[in-house]
């Protein structure tokens, strides 16, 4: 009998996890050894259950750095990681996830047969990107348009620091004190940030920050 692939489900949507657990539990190829509601629980579960593969919700990570993947690999280098992305995922998210160490990316809107295919492919040490996400990458390449991630990367180090503080709700005084800059410099950085990101207000800046994962958005 073929050994079942041990899986850890890490997603903060309980109903989504329950649905996955049911589908995977009815497939003789897989066994769910653990679940996690957040990144901290995921790291503990990796250490405790020693899965072969982690199905990881991208919402745990934010694609500004995807350091959560590295934390999993630091906890246990053996399990591979497949990132679960929303159907409106962008090309930068896929690229950032793979660069951070994920071996697979699959849309949450994909059919179960494709998820099963992804799990087996990644478990065998090969990379996998679901068909819908491949279309996203192809369209991005064809259009040549700047993506949110590429816009963010156009900021210099100081602008990123100011951006992150503004996105977290800090006011001008807090930014000036924390970064040890003059107020005139702050306004100069803020203007430059908005021009480079093509945003017109702080509300747009906050939405942009959530979109690229610099700050955590509210749970659905």
Strand partners, 9: 35, 55
Establish if 46 belongs to a structural domain. yes
Q: Is the pTM of this model over 0.85?
A: no
Which structural domain range is residue 185 located in?
A: 148-212
* 23 & 81 share domain: yes
Q: What percent of the chain has pLDDT over 90?
A: 50
* 123 & 186 share domain: no
Query: Pick from 94, 115, 141: which residue ends a domain?
Result: 141
* Domain harbouring 194, CATH code: 1.10.10.10
pLDDT digits (tens, 9 = 90+) for 155-211: 899 999 999 999 989 999 999 999 999 999 999 999 999 999 889 999 889 888 877
* 35 & 98 share domain: yes
| 195 vs 198: CA distance, rounded Å | 5
pLDDT digits (tens, 9 = 90+) for 74-120: 889 899 999 998 766 667 778 778 878 899 999 888 999 999 999 99
Q: How many domains does one find in the chain?
A: 2
Establish if 131 belongs to a structural domain. yes
Mean pLDDT confidence for 15-28: 94
pLDDT digits (tens, 9 = 90+) for 138-155: 776 666 666 777 788 888
Separation in Å, CA 218 to CA 10, 16, 60, 108:
17, 17, 12, 18
């Amino acid at each position: 009998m073929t050994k079942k692939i041990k899986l850890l489900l890490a997603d903060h949507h309980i109903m989504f996890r329950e649905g996955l657990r049911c589908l995977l539990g009815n497939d003789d190829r897989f066994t769910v050894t653990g679940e996690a509601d957040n990144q901290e629980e995921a790291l503990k579960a990796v250490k405790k259950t020693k899965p072969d593969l982690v199905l990881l919700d991208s919402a745990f990570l934010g694609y500004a750095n995807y350091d959560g993947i590295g934390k999993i690999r630091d906890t246990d280098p053996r399990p591979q990681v497949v990132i679960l992305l929303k159907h409106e995922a962008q090309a930068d998210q896929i690229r950032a996830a793979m660069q951070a160490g994920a071996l697979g990316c699959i849309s949450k809107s994909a059919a179960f047969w494709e998820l099963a295919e992804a799990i087996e492919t990644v478990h065998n040490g090969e990379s996998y990107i679901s068909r819908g996400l491949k279309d996203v990458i192809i369209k991005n390449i064809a259009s040549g348009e700047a993506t949110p991630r590429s816009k963010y990367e156009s900021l210099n180090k100081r602008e990123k620091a100011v951006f992150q503080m503004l996105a977290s709700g800090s006011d001008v005084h807090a930014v000036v004190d924390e970064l040890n800059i003059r107020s005139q410099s702050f306004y100069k950085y803020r203007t430059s940030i908005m021009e480079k990101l093509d945003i017109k207000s702080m509300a747009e800046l906050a939405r942009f920050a959530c979109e690229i994962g610099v700050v955590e958005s509210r749970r659905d």
